[in-house]
Structure 1
Amino acid sequence: MKLIVNIDDLGLTEKVNESVVACFKVGVVQSTTIMINQPATDHAIALIKQGLVPNVGLHLTLTSGKPILDPSLVPDLVDSDGYFLKQDKVLASEVLSFDQAYSEFKAQYDKAINAGIKLTHIDSHHFAAVFPPYKAAFIAFANETGIPVRRVDHVVSGCEGLKVLTTDAFSARFYADGVTLERLQALILEFSTQIPNGTLELMSHTTLAGDTLLPTLSRYVDMRVDEFNILTSQELKDWLEVNKIECIGFDSI
């Protein structure tokens, strides 16, 4: 089986960015996705330009920070202060503007491309792009860009209409209580039995110890350090080799 471990949230903080660089050096992680509207986005772009983060996708962001477009152009997507609606508000919405969502997706994509990033794939922060109010717009946008995406059936079943490449399976279980070496190994073995010749994507979130900015931006903090320690461990790297799990990025699917 082939395994993509994708670190979400590149650009969130400098410590997050530095953890991604360190993970790439070890080699288990060969994929990450950048948030284009966060405090450390420019720092992340600088690291990418230095060649320290070779495989980068776009982490479309719809529930954190402000849009790239002027908030007045995407009123359905923002609150009265111009910030993106929180996750619960999006989930509670039956319909949000297809055109506004598509336009913001394109604005974030264009900003990444104009920064010189050769994007390998697309996914979304908090899975927001595949929540029911946004899913149709995301599929249309993904098909237009033509590059691979994270599976769109994690929140709501079905990949109907999606014409671009994706992995055979995706799991979000390497998170919170699932963040132990033993549980990660069990998860990988479970999928290697189901799809021995397929590709599995695992979502990850990492940072380094002492990230004082992160608690102001995310409720998921301490476990990111645990994820980092597991993904950079020689024990995991050796185990993957013994079990013939090949680590790749989205550029290889």
Structure 2
Amino acid sequence: MKLITNGDDFGITRAANFGIIDCYKDGILKSCSMMVNMPGAEHAAQLMKEYPDFSVGIHLNLTVGKPLLKTHKTLLKEDGTFNKGMLKDSEHVDVEEIRAELYAQVEKYIALTGKVPDHLNSHHGIEMIKGAEAIVCELSKKYDLPVRRFFTLPKGDHPEVDYKIPLMKFDGGSLGELSTPKSLTELYTKEEIESEDIFEFALHPGYVDYEIFQISSLTVGRAYDAHVFLCEEAKQWVEDNHIELIDYRDIPKK
């Protein structure tokens, strides 16, 4: 079994950033994904320079915070922040506004870091918004990047993506619950562990600061997620089961 361990929301706040870096330095975390429109994005980019081997993708976002572009009319609430309600009802959405914003986010990542992201994934499964899935596929082809499994797919590869898509399971913190080591160590069957398949396990590791309470409903749960990546139980599980930890740079094309 090959396993990508990924931490979402890099860049959301400084405390979350420090937690993700600790999980990389001292735990089993191999990659993360950055939100470039959030307050901690520049800090995250600085940390990347200190840890150049850490694999960082982009966490494409249409549901939290303010957009990079100021011209949107159909993606926002009255206060100027993204309208998360688009995940359930997006008939009113202008797809060209989505395209412009997501392309701007990738270019902002490049401007901050000096390189293209290692992979694309989405915050809250934005591919469920009308037109967003096709645009993520466009970005994958334009920048030649692998993609996390879409929420719109049950399992398997996407015909418009050139890379193999890892199998993904959701448990613990990814489902809004408090994660524990069992969220990882009891998630996979013996057959899956012994297979040659590629899986991804993603949580939202981080530490808690004042800013996170202003931005996100996921607060102390981030510290639980960090514990999963840092704990000795997870490290031992990887060793005992001969798990090969990889990141998205190791994903092959089809």
TM-score, normalised by the number of residues in structure 1: 0.89
Distance 1:190-1:39 versus aligned 2 partners, 3 A rule = farther
Of Structure 1 and Structure 2, the greater helix share is in: 1
Aligned to 1:12: 12
* Counterpart Cα distance in 2 of 1:111 and 1:4: 25
2:78 is paired with a residue whose SS is coil
Aligned counterparts of 1:66 and 1:109: Cα–Cα separation in 2: 15
Q: Work out the CA distance in 1 between the residues paired with 2:106 and 2:184.
A: 32
In structure 1, the partner of 2:243 is 245
Q: What is the CA–CA distance in structure 2 between the aligned matches of 1:235 and 1:244, rounded to whole Å?
A: 14
Amino acid at match of 1:78: L
Question: Is 1:104 aligned to residue 101 of structure 2?
Answer: yes
Q: TM-score, normalised by structure 2?
A: 0.88
> Aligned to 2:210, what secondary structure does the other structure show?
coil
Deviation at 1:213? 1.8
Unpaired runs of 5+ residues, structure 2, are: none
**CA apart distance, 1:55:** 0.7
Please give the alpha-carbon distance, in whole angstroms, between the structure 2 residues aligned to 1:109 and 1:119. Answer: 8
- CA drift of 1:178 comes to 6.5
Aligned partner of 2:195 in structure 1 is: 196
CA distance in 2, matches of 1:166, 1:219: 32
SS of residue in 2 equivalent to 1:75: coil
Identity within the alignment, %:
28
For residue 58 of structure 1, report the CA deviation from its aligned partner. 0.5
8 Å contact 1:58–1:112 — kept in the other structure?
Answer: yes
Matching residue of 1:185: 185
Residues 21-41 of structure 1 deviation map (CA, whole Å, 9 limit, x = unaligned): 101112411110000011111
Which deviates more from structure 2 when the two are superposed, residues 98-107 or residues 163-172? Answer: 163-172
Q: Which range moved further: 137-146 or 5-14?
A: 137-146
Question: Which stretch of the first structure deviates more once superposed, 127-136 or 21-30?
Answer: 127-136
Runs (4+) of structure 1 exceeding 6 A deviation are none
* Offset of residue 52 of structure 1: 5.9
Q: Distance in 1 between matches of 2:167 and 2:190?
A: 12
Q: Are the equivalent residues in 1 in contact too, given 2:95–2:130 (CA < 8 A)?
A: no
The residue type paired with residue 201 of structure 2 is L
In the other structure, the counterpart of 2:212 is: 214
Q: Which residue identity is paired with 1:2?
A: K
TM-superposed deviation, 1:197: 0.3
Corresponding letter in the other structure for 1:204: L
Report the aligned-residue RMSD. Answer: 2.1
User: Which residue does the alignment assign to 1:80?
Assistant: 78
Distance 1:3 1:16 in 2: 23
Give the direction of change, closer, same or farther, for the CA distance of 1:191–1:48 in structure 2 (3 Å limit).
farther
Q: Aligned partner of 2:12: which letter?
A: L
Alpha-carbon distance in 1 for matches of 2:23, 2:29: 6
Look up the equivalent residue of 1:129 and give its one-letter code: E
Structure 2 match to 1:134:
132
- The reply on whether 1:93 has 2:85 as its aligned counterpart is no
Rounded to whole Å, the distance in 2 between the matches of 1:80 and 1:183 is 38
Give the residue type in structure 1 aligned to 2:16. Answer: V
Aligned residues: 247
Segments of structure 1 that go 5 or more residues without pairing to the other structure are none
2:131 & 2:31 partners in 1: Cα distance? 27
